[in-house]
């Protein structure tokens, strides 16, 4: 019987989530709490949590906790549920995007299933298969490693042939005909660099992620600005990195980064997370910001205003992207034959303390 106790916990958890009116994104009980409630071993609780995760009812985030990820409504709910697949869920700008999606779909009476991929194609595969098996009526997907060859083209072709409406957000696979909703990432890179040139900087460097299209487009905007200002040598002052290596970048590439910074007066970073890591790196290596180096991030995450040196950044319209993606999907469900255009939001510059003017 011990082997099957976890199934009792699974059913109890579904009833608990409904009774407590827990919504997508709410924190779920811990392993320790579940062990105490059911008087079972941690191994049994973990089996139950694994099953709940496979059913897209919860989402476990390393180092953060367990969250409600989807609706526990029965599969026979009118019209079926909407599947939402995001690279991440509980940190950075992602909660705001998911909130926007959830707000629109809740108002429309559409239950959600939510899954995260941790920017891994293999986890995207599992999420897509699970949602197709659950009979979703539409999908909103943030691609994983969107700049690299993708193994899920067959699944997306199955989705297309099945007539399941699909909308991407933040980026899209270039081979897909489905529309996407995003910030204009090329404009973001261009705005960041233009601001530095406007402040008198002429020696710019950049740090960009290489495995997603957002990084490529933000670099494109940066490069366009440099070319417009006659500073094409900036393309030699670049660091490209894989997203999964961002936390180790300043250790692995310390010498190279220091050499690049010594030749520069300003840096454009792929996003705020990397910019904040650069601020720490500069502090450790006695490079003063903004006196020795000005730094601009992108996204205007919640960390940008509260870090040691409040960060000048380019604002990502977090919640608006989520709302627009959900609204676009509902339109595609209502009229599958109507073609849909991509939606790009123009970003805005947010000026704080990490950039100084050096105009004569």
pLDDT digits (tens, 9 = 90+) for 15-27: 888 888 888 778 8
Q: Tell me the range of 77-91, 211-225, 240-254 where mean pLDDT is highest.
A: 211-225
Structure token digits, residue 100: 């926007």
- Report the 10 Å Cβ neighbour count for 236: 9
Does 324 lie in the same domain as 177?
yes
Model confidence pLDDT, tens digit, residues 181-216? 999 999 999 999 999 999 999 999 999 999 999 999
Calpha distance 118→120 (Å, rounded): 5
Does 292 lie in the same domain as 199?
yes
SS3 (DSSP) at 101: helix
Q: Which of 33, 58, 83 is the last residue of a domain?
A: 58
Does 154 lie in the same domain as 87?
yes
Calculated CA dihedral for residues 17, 22, 27, 28, nearest 10 degrees: 0
Provide the H-helix boundaries in the chain: 5-19, 31-38, 42-54, 94-107, 121-133, 153-161, 185-198, 213-228, 249-252, 254-262, 272-284, 318-334
Does 217 lie in the same domain as 292?
yes
| Residue 198 belongs to a domain | yes
Domain that holds residue 1: 1-58
The answer, as to whether pTM is greater than 0.85, is no
Does 172 lie in the same domain as 191?
no
| Residue 149 belongs to a domain | yes
| Residue 359 belongs to a domain | no
Ramachandran sector of residue 39 (left: φ over 0; alpha: ψ -120 to 50; beta: rest): left
Total structural domains within the chain? 3
- Write down the mean pLDDT value for the chain: 90
What pLDDT, on the 0 to 100 scale, is given for residue 65?
72
Does 334 lie in the same domain as 263?
no
Does 54 lie in the same domain as 71?
no
The answer on pLDDT for 261 being more than 80 is yes
Calpha distance 252→256 (Å, rounded): 9
Stretch 296-311: mean pLDDT, rounded?
Answer: 94
Q: In angstroms, what CA-CA distances link 347 with 85, 96, 321, 350? A: 24, 16, 11, 10
- Report the 10 Å Cβ neighbour count for 123: 16
| Residue 240 belongs to a domain | yes
What pLDDT, on the 0 to 100 scale, is given for residue 77?
36
């Amino acid at each position: 019987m011990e082997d099957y106790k976890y199934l009792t916990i699974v059913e109890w958890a579904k009833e608990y989530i409904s009774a407590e009116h827990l919504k997508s994104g709410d924190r779920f009980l811990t392993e320790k709490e579940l062990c105490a409630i059911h008087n079972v071993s941690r191994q049994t609780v973990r089996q139950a949590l694994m099953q709940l995760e496979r059913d897209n009812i919860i989402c476990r985030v390393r180092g953060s906790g367990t969250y409600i990820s989807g609706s526990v409504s029965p599969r026979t709910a009118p019209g079926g549920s909407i599947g939402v697949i995001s690279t991440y869920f509980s940190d950075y700008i992602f909660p705001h995007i998911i909130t926007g999606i959830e707000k629109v779909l809740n108002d429309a009476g559409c239950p959600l299933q939510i899954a995260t991929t941790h920017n891994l194609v293999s986890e995207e595969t599992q999420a897509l298969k699970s949602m197709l098996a659950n009979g979703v009526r539409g999908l909103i997907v943030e691609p994983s490693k969107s700049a690299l060859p993708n193994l899920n083209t067959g699944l997306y072709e199955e989705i297309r042939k099945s007539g399941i409406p699909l909308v991407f957000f933040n980026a899209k696979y270039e081979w897909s005909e489905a529309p996407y909703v995003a910030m204009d990432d090329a404009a973001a890179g261009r705005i960041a660099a233009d601001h530095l040139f406007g402040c008198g900087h002429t020696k710019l460097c950049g740090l960009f992620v290489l495995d997603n299209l957002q990084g490529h487009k933000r670099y494109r905007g940066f490069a366009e600005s440099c070319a417009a200002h006659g500073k094409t040598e900036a393309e030699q002052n670049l660091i490209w990195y894989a997203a999964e290596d961002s936390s180790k970048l300043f250790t692995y590439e310390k010498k190279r980064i220091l050499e690049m910074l010594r030749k520069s007066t300003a840096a454009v970073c792929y996003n705020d997370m990397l910019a904040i890591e650069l601020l720490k790196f500069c502090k450790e290596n006695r490079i003063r910001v903004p006196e020795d180096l000005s730094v601009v991030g992108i996204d205007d995450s919640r960390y940008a205003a509260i870090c040691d040196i409040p960060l000048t950044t380019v604002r990502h319209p977090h919640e608006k992207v989520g709302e627009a993606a959900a609204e676009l999907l509902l339109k595609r469900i209502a009229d599958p034959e109507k073609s849909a255009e991509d939606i790009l939001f123009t970003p805005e510059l947010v000026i704080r303390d990490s950039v100084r003017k050096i105009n004569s």
